[in-house]
Amino acid sequence: MPEPAEFLRSQLRLRIAVFAATIAVAGVLALMGVWWWPAIFLALGLLFVLKRLAGEGRVLDPENLRSGILGEEAVADALAVLPSSYWVLHGVPTGHGDVDHVVIGPTGVFALETKAWRGSFYRKRGQLYCNGKPAEHVLRQVRGAAGQVRGLLLEAGVDEWVEAVVVPSRANVSRSPLRFPKAYVVSINGVVDFITGRRRWLRSSNVLAVVASLAEPGGDDGWADRGGTASAP
C-alpha cells in the first residue's frame, strides 16, 4: 500500500517531467532555428503554451499538488497517535481512484478524504459551505470514497459499514464535527477523538478481516500503519 500522498507525488513527478520535456523540445527547436528560422517561432509558441498551462490554478501548476501532499501528510501524522488497536491505510486504491486514508479499528471503518484548503468550513441552511461558497461536492466525493471502500469489503465477503469523513488539514471547522447525511466534516485536531469516540465495537477478528480485504494481492504487511507505532515491519 502506498505511503501518504503517494498518488499526488506521482502526479507531481509527471507534471515536472512534462514541464522539463517541453523545455527540452523548445531548446532543440531554438537550435534548429539556426538552419531553419521557422523553428524559432515553434519554440516560442511552445514556451508560451507552457507558461499558460503552468500559471496559477492551471493544469501544470504544481502548487495545488504540493498543498495536497502536505495536507495528506499532516492528516497521516495526526492519525499516528491512534491506539495500537487501530490500523491506518494510506492511498487505498479502489479501481476508481484512491482514498486518502482508511482507518480500521474497534470503533469501525472510516474513509477519510483530506482537503488542504484554507479558511473555514461551516454549516449553513443544512448545507456545507467553505469560505462563503457551497461545498456540497466535497460531501459527495467522500460519500463516493466510502461507498467504494464498502464495495471492496463486500466483494471480499465482509459486510461492514464505512463512515465517510472529510478532514480539512488547514481550514477551521466550525462546531466540529459537522454531521451531514452519511458524512462528517471533522477538524484535524479532533479526528482522533472522533474516531475513538464512536459508539460501536468491532471484534479484533472483524478488524483483521477488513484489513486483509483491503490488502494488495501478493503484498506483505508493510503497507499499513498501526496506530501509535511506526509502519508494521
The pTM (predicted TM-score) of the whole model is 0.77
Tell me the pLDDT tens digit for each residue of 54-65: 666 555 566 676
- Phi, psi (degrees; rounded to nearest 5) at 9: -60, -40
Q: Are 39 and 30 in contact (CB under 8 A)?
A: yes
Residue 189 has pLDDT above 60, yes or no: yes
Between 218 and 69, name the one with better pLDDT.
Answer: 69
> In the beta sheet, which residues pair with residue 166?
113, 185
| Polymer length in residues for the chain | 233
Q: Which stretch of 47-51, 89-93, 97-101, 191-195 has the lowest confidence by average pLDDT?
A: 47-51
Contact at 8 Å (CB) between 192 and 79? yes
Looking at residue 54, its pLDDT comes to 67
56-114: pLDDT as tens digits: 655 556 667 677 678 889 999 999 999 999 999 998 988 888 899 999 999 999 999 99
Is 86:195 a contact under the CB 8 Å cutoff?
yes
Residue 205 and residue 41: Cα distance in Å, rounded?
66
Q: What angle do CA 7, 13, 19 make, to 5 degrees?
A: 140
Phi, psi dihedrals of residue 49, rounded to the nearest 5°: -65, -40
Q: Which residue has the higher pLDDT, 211 or 9?
A: 211
Average pLDDT, the chain: 83
Q: Which helix (H) or strand (E) holds 75?
A: helix 63-79
25-30: average pLDDT? 81
Residue 227 has pLDDT above 90, yes or no: no
pLDDT of 226: 62
- Residue for grid cell 477519510: 112
pLDDT score of 217 more than 90:
no
The set of long-range contacts for 206-211, using a CB threshold of 8 Å and a minimum separation of 24, is 206/158, 206/160, 207/85, 207/87, 207/104, 207/105, 207/106, 209/156, 209/158, 210/104, 210/109, 210/153, 210/158, 210/160, 211/87, 211/89, 211/104
d(CA 50, CA 223): 37
Question: Would you say 16 and 104 are in contact if contact means Cβ atoms under 8 Å apart?
Answer: no
